[in-house]
Amino acid sequence: MNRSVQKIVDQVYVSGCLGKSKRQRDLLTYLLKENRAGRLEKIKEYNIAVDVLGRAANFNSVTDSIVRAEMRRLRNNLSLFNGGSQDMQLEIPRAHYEVIITNRVRAQPYSLIKSYIQPIVMASSAMALIASLALVNNPQQQSLAVASDCSSTVPNVDVVNSGSLSDLQLYVDKIIQSSLSQYSNIQFVNNIQACTESGTPSFTLDYMVFEKNDMYSVALTAYYERPSQVVGFANMNGIITEPNNKDDLYYSIVKAVGDFAKPYGEIPQYAVTKNWAVEEIASNYKCIIAMYDSYVSDSSEDYSRALSCLTRSSQSKFATLDNKGGLALSYIVQHRKTRNSSTEDPMLEAQKLIDSSGDEWIQSAEMTMAKILYEVDRPDYNAERLKAVMNIAEKNYSENPHILIIVAGYAGFKLGDWERAIHLSTQILLIHSETDDSVFSVRAAFELVKSQSDVDLSVCLLAYSENSLFSNLLVNSCARRVQNVEWIKRTDDNLIRLGYSNTDKRVNYIQSRQYAQKFSDAFVSSVQLSVN
């Protein structure tokens, strides 16, 4: 089927995957037109920046990553389009500007793995994909565009595999690449050799897939510069033919990649021990790790050090969106009175940082989290606006547990969408290697909402934290529902110690939080229940 460029762009735009971004629409139009005109080899990062994205003639790709950011965003958006398109698939291979158009044919049910990856890799485009991957693994045939994918502010990470491209390997490769793209504190590249002059540490995530009969074994190894410098590894095994184990493999890979790539994961922690070309860039990168460390320690001193670091890094000429997003998050924490204020109006400072990112906030995980929290707390709160922001965040970071935790929490507590909240909390437990009380709080809150009598106290107890006001109120409410005297007394004692000795004060606290009405009503009625 031969479609015009305009018809293709219109079909993608109508799908909604590009949002309202004129940049994304213009970029897709430009790439399609240049492809059709046979000028593929003439597409350069500079041309895109100046001709499409409106940058000045003195554009410098070393200090301005807009093209890389918009290309990554377009690839992600086209993946969303492909998931819903019934007749056409659009794919832009990493490190290339060619738009591969494939007419989609409905898959026949022939094997678990093939049917699972069919929406991503059609049989008619498999050879094109293999050819592009062969180019990626051959430095002599790399286009100059590869080098433009390298980052000069965060570690670069490549993905390689040993063996032929079987269906299972294609499936594993797709999951690994997708999972790496969830973390803005690292840069996924297709050829790490092209990044030797980037000035930041380079890592490789090597994977091997073994298949025998119906069994599979997948081994992941992350190393620095060469295979002998192992940073971390993970192994997973299962049965190919069982659908549940298909999910097990997916979640296991996402979890393992997250442990490698997340801001305090094995790759970032290792990276800060190595030499960087510019010390200021290395110092800026350490600020994000310091921020997460302060969350874990819950120490005022650690928070102050992280805040000071983020403030300095955000004013640096090498500041990343993660630096600014981390600082915006810190200001919102101050606004919520959980930390002492370092400025007269923390929310105003957070707003300035978020606004400065324009429509590129979604390119940074830290800025995305700040954006959601700001929408929750802003004086002119609007539920539809919050919902729209969280929808964008979930689509772009569907495998990032930190963002999903925030989306799940506010979907339930603020918007009252408990079906979405529980669905996401279940996914988080499968892809997050750490225990997070926020996830259990969502599930405990749902126990109060779903029924006036049928409350599973064991679910609520998973959210228990001795020194948390909200946690004690939540568990106390669940315990009162089932008249569990032991837990009523324990949480009452904690609440008295925390300054909430009487029911009126507890009710006032709940009502001041402005939760979704159904949860607020259930919460209030539960804390008011007397002990029989």
pLDDT, tens digit (0-9, with 9 covering 90-100), for 100-110: 888 754 333 32
| Nearest of 412, 347, 352, 409 to residue 380 by alpha carbon | 347
Answer yes or no: do 371 and 477 share one domain: no
Q: How far apart are CA 197 and CA 189, in angstroms?
A: 14
| Nearest of 432, 444, 449, 452 to residue 468 by alpha carbon | 444
**171 pLDDT above the threshold of 90:** no
pLDDT at 311: 97
| Nearest of 87, 68, 79 to residue 149 by alpha carbon | 68
pLDDT at 17: 76
Number of domains, the chain: 4
Choose between 65 and 450: higher pLDDT. 450
- Maximum average pLDDT range among 1-5, 302-306, 308-312, 356-360: 308-312
Residue type, 93: P
Q: How far apart are CA 189 and CA 65, in angstroms?
A: 14
Give the H or E element holding residue 127.
helix 126-136
| Nearest of 326, 315, 322, 318 to residue 364 by alpha carbon | 322
Q: Does residue 116 fall inside a structural domain?
A: no
Q: Does residue 115 fall inside a structural domain?
A: no
pLDDT at 4: 85
Q: Does residue 146 fall inside a structural domain?
A: no
Last residue of one domain, picked from the residues 241, 272, 303:
272
Give the contacts of 508 (CB within 8 A, at least 6 positions apart): none
Mean pLDDT estimate for the chain: 85
Last residue of one domain, picked from the residues 252, 272, 292:
272
- In tens, the pLDDT along 457-496 reads 999 999 898 888 999 999 999 999 999 999 999 999 999 9
Q: Does residue 129 fall inside a structural domain?
A: no
Q: Does residue 112 fall inside a structural domain?
A: no
Q: How far apart are CA 145 and CA 92, in angstroms?
A: 13
Q: How far apart are CA 365 and CA 399, in angstroms?
A: 11
Answer yes or no: do 231 and 308 share one domain: no
Residue with tokens 């600020």: 287
Query: Are the CB atoms for 234 and 259 separated by under 8 Å?
Result: yes
pTM: 0.70
> Which residues span the domain enclosing 244?
156-272
pLDDT at 241: 63
| Neighbouring C-alpha atoms within 13 Å toward the C-beta of 499 | 5
- pLDDT confidence tier of residue 245, bands split at 50, 70 and 90: low
Answer yes or no: do 326 and 424 share one domain: no
pLDDT at 104: 56
E-only strand ranges, 255-404: none
**145 pLDDT above the threshold of 70:** no
Q: How far apart are CA 498 and CA 264, in angstroms?
A: 31
CB atoms within 10 A of CB 365: 25
**358 pLDDT above the threshold of 80:** yes
Answer yes or no: do 431 and 519 share one domain: yes
Q: CATH no. for residue 206?
A: 3.30.160.100
Answer yes or no: do 267 and 349 share one domain: no
pLDDT at 107: 34
Answer yes or no: do 344 and 406 share one domain: no
Q: Does residue 142 fall inside a structural domain?
A: no
Order of all β-strands in the sheet with 202-212? 187-189, 156-162, 202-212, 215-224, 230-239
- pLDDT confidence tier of residue 357, bands split at 50, 70 and 90: very high
Q: Does residue 119 fall inside a structural domain?
A: no
- pLDDT confidence tier of residue 112, bands split at 50, 70 and 90: very low
Region 382-393 average pLDDT: 95
**324 pLDDT above the threshold of 80:** yes
Answer yes or no: do 413 and 509 share one domain: yes
Give the H or E element holding residue 365.
helix 365-377
Q: Does residue 277 fall inside a structural domain?
A: no
Answer yes or no: do 513 and 431 share one domain: yes
pLDDT at 106: 38
Q: How far apart are CA 342 and CA 327, in angstroms?
A: 11
Answer yes or no: do 99 and 185 share one domain: no
Region 368-383 average pLDDT: 95
Region 254-281 average pLDDT: 94
Answer yes or no: do 267 and 288 share one domain: no
Last residue of one domain, picked from the residues 242, 272, 302:
272
β-strands 156-162, 202-212 pairing: parallel
Answer yes or no: do 297 and 257 share one domain: no
Answer yes or no: do 405 and 478 share one domain: yes
CB atoms within 10 A of CB 298: 10
